[in-house]
């Protein structure tokens, strides 16, 4: 009887392992969908059931596609589906800014087409574009805001006769990552030096040197409405405009491009442009 129990127990364990294996294999399977199904699939992944990101691979599936699909599912919890689009269908999905091609990943975020990642790119570049489309990461070659190598470079600007714009944020701050592309676009459009300090990634010793400036941040630029200092706790993102070591303007939190530009015109960082 005892031996029989061991046999039954071993059988159950093997059965559970097999079920787990097949369930995992099924969950990793890349499902083929038709062009006519894309609209409803995009809607399903439009913030419903905590599913915001959708990848559609256009082309034939091979081992490299399966491996990368597993990679992005593991790291970003993204499901990949397969499509086989005709030239006419490619044209319909493409926009003025985003051209959809064969053999690549079509990326949707919260129901919006965000970009296309060619399978010809190496994994590092693919991962960089995934971060760009999903989390607002800006590749180095597309950056117009400035990340200074030392705090002394900023402190020199801070004490100069120039208007100096700095944004304090953190990679772990959702609104910071949403705000940074706006900052980048404004820096590009108006040819401005805007300095960005990421508390999570900037050298901690250099970051503390900047915090040691410890100037006053008025209540209009804090979430609590109470005055604080740079050296104390403050809300991120925080945009500060300074001149001759004095604060001449600030913005609390995430704002749209128009609001940022309006403040920069008001504080004379941007000149020759009317509100």
Each residue's pLDDT tens digit, 152-175: 999 999 999 999 999 999 988 889
User: Does the pLDDT of residue 220 top 80, yes or no?
Assistant: yes
Over the stretch 85-144, which tens digit does the pLDDT of each residue have? 999 999 999 999 999 999 999 999 888 999 999 999 999 999 999 988 888 888 888 999
Mean pLDDT on 43-69: 85
User: Does the pLDDT of residue 9 top 70, yes or no?
Assistant: no
Q: Tokens 């120039």 correspond to what residue? A: 162
User: Does the pLDDT of residue 274 top 70, yes or no?
Assistant: no
What count of Cα atoms within 13 Å lies in the side-chain half-sphere of residue 129?
A: 19
Question: CA triplet 105, 109, 112: central angle to 5 degrees?
Answer: 95
CATH fold, domain 141-266, is: Glutaredoxin (3.40.30)
Q: What is the pLDDT of residue 47?
A: 62
| 10-24, 96-110, 223-237, 244-258: least confidently modelled range | 10-24
Mean pLDDT on 59-78: 91
pLDDT band at 21 (very low <50, low <70, confident <90, very high): very low
Helix (H) or strand (E) holding 169: strand 164-169
Q: Which residue has the higher pLDDT, 59 or 177?
A: 59
Mean pLDDT on 198-205: 94
pLDDT band at 23 (very low <50, low <70, confident <90, very high): very low
User: Does the pLDDT of residue 56 top 90, yes or no?
Assistant: yes
User: Does the pLDDT of residue 197 top 90, yes or no?
Assistant: yes
Beta strands in 93-188 (DSSP E): 104-109, 112-118, 164-169
- Percent over 70 (pLDDT), the chain: 87
pTM above 0.85, yes or no: no
Q: What is the pLDDT of residue 26?
A: 40
b/e burial code for range 214-244 (CB count within 10 A of at least 16 → b):
eeebeeebbeeeeebebeeebbbbbbbbbbe
User: Does the pLDDT of residue 14 top 60, yes or no?
Assistant: no
| Mean pLDDT rounded to a whole number for the chain | 87
For the domain 28-137, what is the CATH superfamily, name and number?
Answer: Glutaredoxin (3.40.30.10)
Outline which parts of the chain fall under CATH 3.40.30.10.
28-137, 141-266
User: Does the pLDDT of residue 78 top 70, yes or no?
Assistant: yes
Answer yes or no: are the C-beta atoms of 126 and 68 closer than 8 Å: yes
């Amino acid at each position: 009887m005892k031996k029989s129990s061991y046999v039954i127990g071993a059988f159950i364990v093997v059965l559970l392992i097999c079920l787990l294996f097949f369930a995992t294999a099924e969950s990793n399977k890349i499902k083929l969908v038709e062009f006519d199904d894309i609209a409803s699939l995009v809607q399903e992944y439009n913030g419903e059931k905590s599913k915001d990101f959708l990848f559609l691979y256009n082309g034939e599936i091979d081992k490299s596609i399966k491996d990368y699909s597993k990679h992005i599912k593991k790291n970003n919890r993204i499901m990949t589906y397969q499509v086989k689009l005709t030239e006419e269908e490619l044209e319909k999905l493409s926009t003025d800014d985003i051209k959809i091609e064969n053999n690549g990943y079509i990326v949707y975020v919260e129901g919006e087409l965000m970009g296309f990642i060619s399978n010809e790119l190496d994994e590092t570049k693919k991962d960089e574009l995934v971060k760009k489309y999903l989390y607002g990461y800006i590749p180095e070659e597309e950056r117009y805001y400035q990340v200074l190598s030392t705090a002394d470079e900023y402190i020199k600007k801070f004490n100069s006769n120039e208007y100096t714009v700095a944004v304090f944020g953190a990679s772990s701050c959702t609104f910071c990552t949403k705000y940074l592309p706006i900052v980048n676009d404004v820096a590009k459009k108006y040819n401005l030096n805007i300095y960005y300090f990421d508390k999570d990634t900037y050298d901690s010793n250099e970051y503390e040197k900047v915090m040691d400036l410890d100037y006053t941040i008025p209540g209009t630029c804090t979430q609590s409405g109470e005055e604080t200092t740079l050296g104390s706790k403050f809300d991120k993102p925080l945009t500060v405009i300074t001149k001759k070591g004095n604060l001449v303007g600030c913005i609390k939190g995430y704002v749209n491009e128009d609001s940022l530009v309006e403040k920069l015109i008001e504080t004379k960082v941007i000149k020759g442009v009317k509100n």
